[in-house]
Amino acid sequence: MKTKYSEAQLTAHHEAAHAVAHIRHDMSFQSVSVVPGEGYMGIMRTKPRHGIQHLGNEGEILAVLAGIAAEKKLRPHIPWIGVIWFGGEDDWKAARIHTEANLKMAEALASYKEGREQRPVTEQEIGVAMDRHLRRAGKFVRNEWETIERIAHALIASPSGRLHYEQIYELCTGGKPTPEEQREQLFVRDGKLVDVEGNPVAW
């Protein structure tokens, strides 16, 4: 018998999977929310990146795809393309952009070392790499499912519909982040340390 999950449950597991993947790969973020907004049902707030275009490493691409993999686990009867279309199109596009950029960078380095002309990256190569990333994300979600469910339930139960980094870290690890890890979750604006909401933080 198929279990029917509400939109809130799907969103909570989707965002929880993103959060667990970030924690496990030592990547910073501010908070995770399941409060719907314009164009989204849930959101993870991360620190903005500056400077050159960022190329995602394997862990970052896995973290982007973890939400899709969590929804697929809840709805195994739906093909991957359906899960992506209805709940993770933006994540899929972001992972694909990073994957293509990484393949182009790898080809540029290889052609330089081998003294040959750089060739274009093919759609087949991108597809093979994305399939590998998706399988890795699926395996990660299966291995971390108990933790993902714990955070998803906490998100649904939260009166604000939001959990901050420190709360998720504790649910993941049973401990609290170090001062250095906490500092990663803060911004410097106009010379002052503030949280994601712009509130001053004493340090």
pLDDT(52) > 70: no
Which CATH number covers residue 106?
1.20.58.760
Question: C-alpha angle 38/90/13, rounded to 5°?
Answer: 80
> b/e map of 114-143 (b: 16 or more CB within 10 Å)?
eeeeeeebeeeebeebbeebbebbbebbee
CA distance 120 to 79: 30
* 182 lies in some domain: no
Q: Which domain holds residue 34?
A: 7-176
Do residues 142 and 74 lie in contact, with contact meaning Cβ atoms separated by under 8 Å?
no
Higher pLDDT, residue 4 or 165: 165
* 147 lies in some domain: yes
Mean pLDDT over residues 51-70, rounded? 78
Do residues 42 and 58 lie in contact, with contact meaning Cβ atoms separated by under 8 Å?
no
Do residues 23 and 173 lie in contact, with contact meaning Cβ atoms separated by under 8 Å?
yes
Confidence (pTM): 0.81
Domain count across the chain: 1
* 86 lies in some domain: yes
CA distance 115 to 64: 35
